[in-house]
Amino acid sequence: MRFLILILFFSSSAMADSVAFKKNTDAIEKHKKICINQPPPAHKAMFKQTELCEFGKEGCTNNSATEPFEVLCDLEMVSECYAQSAWQTRNQYFNLSLSVEVTNISHRMTFSDGMKIDTICAHYK
């Protein structure tokens, strides 16, 4: 019985090792990035264009987005973001033209001479 279990175990592991993976031959799209040395935004939300007009730091944009989009705010409390109309689109936050699309925001934290350095980057195309 033990012998049969061992044979089944080794045969199943041998089959698992023989799985073929298809190599991705599609071209990888390269994005540009812009980075700033500061902590990431304190708050994120999803807004529609009308909400940005009401609560946006820079008011309405010429963006004709019909779907909700991400907005960012650096103030400590989310209620202050609304009260002070401090929300910004990703493009506004990184001072990018509306003609580019920010696809991702990344955060990197490093330490230099015992001091923490936060860097946030907008990846765009």
Summarize pLDDT for 71-95 with one digit per residue, the tens: 999 999 999 999 999 999 999 999 9
- pLDDT tens digits, one per residue of 11-43: 554 444 545 556 555 556 678 999 999 999 999
Specify the 3-state DSSP secondary structure of 114.
coil
pTM greater than 0.75: no
